[in-house]
Amino acid sequence: MVDILSLPTVPELIRTAEDMYRLGWNERNSGNISCLLSQEESQHIADRSVIRTFPLGLAADGIAGRYMLITSTGSYFKNMRRCPEDCLGIVRISDDGQNAELVLGFENGGRPTSELPAHVMSHLSRLEVDKGHSVVLHCHPANIMAMTYVHELDDAKFSHTLWRMCTEGIIVFPDGVSVLPWMPCGTKGIGRATAEKMREFRIVIWAHHGIYGVGSTLDEAFGLVETVEKAAQIFMLTSHLPHINTISDANLAELAEVFDVAYRKDFIKS
């Protein structure tokens, strides 16, 4: 009998969720995480029967047959360790790509996060770019949210500002960030807009709401968001003050050369 905690990705996700809650990124029941399971991990649950089915409302042929670990709607990240069977579920994307088939978890009537369409579409987009990208996480870091109130919502300008806030910025997210205008959450509209941006960016910011980050591992996706949030924090701490010193565009180009990263050259002036 397979227990949800016996799958290696589950304890790792719980630890990540606790860190996100501790940092204030996921208040109350906000935020969500999904991970496409590896073929090796999926083998342990391949013989499980379908418990319930959730229509996706979109075609997910690109991940048909794949198993996904995902957080439930209404779950509190702070409670995940106490009741993982309620807060987490493993679904299989049906062979026709139309449904998510629950095979483990979501006990006591739980359902996948309302952002399931956004997660599925983001996974589909990122797999076209990098077959190793298996993690999508969404959270509400305060400084990123605050920055969307006082900064132009332009991909190039937003990225450029963040890069100049801390030395590691252009090294960790050389592809920059994308910023969507405010849109209602939990809809296919914002899911489609996010997925489209994911073809170019690993970070998509929802104005006045939060951030989406992707990666090959939970640590990678978490670290990506963590670095962007630190840069936004420095911006919010210093934006009202005169900048006597700064990281120049020439410095950014030098950093990219030293660390051999391919950055968005159209996002800086030189």
What's the pLDDT score for residue 270?
Answer: 46
Round to whole Å and give the CA distance between 162 and 3: 42
Element (H, E) at 128: helix 116-129
Round to whole Å and give the CA distance between 100 and 121: 13
Low-confidence ranges of the chain (pLDDT < 50): 270
Residue 191 tokens read as 């899911």
Burial of residue 146 (CB within 10 Å: 0-12, 13-18, 19+) is middle
* Catalytic residue numbers, as ranges: 115
Q: Quickly count helices (H) and strands (E) in the chain.
A: 10, 9
| Domains parsed from the chain with CATH numbers | 1-114 (3.40.225.10), 115-270 (3.40.225.10)
Round to whole Å and give the CA distance between 46 and 32: 24
CA 97 to chain CA centroid, nearest Å: 22
Round to whole Å and give the CA distance between 80 and 85: 9
Bridge pairing between strands 67-71 and 99-105: unpaired
Round to whole Å and give the CA distance between 120 and 195: 9
Kindly report the CA angle at 214 between 204 and 179, in degrees rounded to 5?
5
DSSP state of 140: -
CA distances, 98 to each of 22, 93, 139, 179 (Å) = 36, 7, 26, 29
> In this structure, how many other beta carbons lie within 10 angstroms of the beta carbon of residue 230?
18
- State which amino acid sits at residue 6: S
The residues that bridge with 180 in the sheet, in sequence order, are 206
CA 38 to chain CA centroid, nearest Å: 18
Query: Which among 118, 99, 119, 5 has a CA at the least distance from the CA of 52?
Result: 99
Residue 190 tokens read as 């914002």
pTM of the predicted structure, to 2 decimals: 0.92
What's the pLDDT score for residue 2?
Answer: 66
What's the pLDDT score for residue 47?
Answer: 86
